[in-house]
């Protein structure tokens, strides 16, 4: 990250709010704005947070599912603990990740899958966008394996040449799909959030 970006980041209003309100990242406000618009979460939901570090989305999700809910977060990096959250170190592209998740859900169904994962930025937008879509497709594939019928899905993706194809994949798996740019997203950002509402479980996945 450039020094210019770091300076702008520290002067960002949502960054300051996150620090003041105890959130681990400004991204928490993005998820709250998404939920205000689309009602993703219900009290008591089990939520799977993919690419969860440093835990900002998990914090926001915990607020919305309440003490009767649970958040399971997965990332390659270590995440400091949160009450009512289980953080796992794992790779969402690994075939064994579903078994890892199932060990902690103990047969309970997951109502919401969220992913704010982003690739390491190379500076080559075409490459970064392709990697972003790959992560989003991976999150969608995993969601289709673990979501209960009528569950919800939220994922970040960078817009580009293969964005429409990804939208088509979401469209056939959910009763409703939306694209949304939260107010907390930076003005110059090409990120967009894709929301799938009402998961359609067409067949049972086998590992």
**pLDDT of 2 higher than 60:** no
At 167-196, the pLDDT tens digits run 999 999 999 999 999 999 987 789 999 999
For residue 86, CA distances in Å to 27, 48, 72, 106, 166 come to: 19, 10, 5, 13, 29
The CATH homologous superfamily of the domain defined by 24-199: Vaccinia Virus protein VP39 (3.40.50.150)
Q: So what's the pLDDT on residue 116?
A: 97
At 73-132, the pLDDT tens digits run 999 999 999 999 999 999 998 989 999 999 999 878 999 999 999 999 999 999 999 999
Q: How many CB atoms lie within 10 A of CB 172?
A: 9
Q: Which two tokens stand for residue 103?
A: 């060990």
Q: So what's the pLDDT on residue 187?
A: 76
Q: So what's the pLDDT on residue 204?
A: 55
Give 32's contacts (C-beta < 8 A, 6+ positions apart): 60, 63, 64
Domain residue ranges of the chain, discontinuous segments joined by +: 24-199
The DSSP letter of residue 80 is -
Catalytic residues: 156
Q: What is the pTM of this model?
A: 0.90
> What value does the mean pLDDT take over residues 3-30?
77
Summary mean pLDDT of the chain: 91
**pLDDT of 206 higher than 70:** no
Q: How many CB atoms lie within 10 A of CB 81?
A: 8
8 Å CB contact between 93 and 62? no
* Cα 38 to chain centroid, rounded: 15
């Amino acid at each position: 990250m450039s020094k210019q970006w770091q300076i702008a980041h520290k002067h960002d209003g949502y960054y300051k709010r996150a620090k003041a309100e105890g959130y681990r990242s400004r991204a928490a406000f993005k998820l709250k704005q998404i939920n205000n618009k689309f009602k993703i979460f219900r009290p008591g939901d089990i939520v799977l947070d993919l690419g969860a570090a440093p835990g900002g989305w998990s914090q926001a999700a915990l607020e919305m599912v309440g003490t009767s809910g649970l958040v399971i977060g997965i990332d390659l990096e270590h995440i400091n603990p949160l009450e009512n959250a289980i953080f796992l170190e794992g790779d969402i592209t690994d075939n064994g990740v579903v078994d890892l998740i199932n060990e902690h859900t103990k047969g309970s169904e997951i109502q919401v899958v969220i992913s704010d994962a982003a690739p390491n930025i190379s500076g080559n937008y075409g490459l970064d966008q392709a990697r972003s879509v790959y992560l989003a497709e991976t999150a969608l594939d995993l969601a289709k394996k673990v979501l209960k019928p009528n569950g919800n899905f939220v994922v970040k993706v960078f817009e580009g040449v293969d964005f429409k194809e990804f939208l088509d994949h979401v469209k056939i798996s959910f009763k409703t799909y939306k694209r949304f740019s939260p107010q907390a997203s930076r003005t110059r950002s090409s990120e967009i959030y894709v929301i799938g509402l009402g998961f359609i479980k067409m067949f049972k996945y086998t590992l």
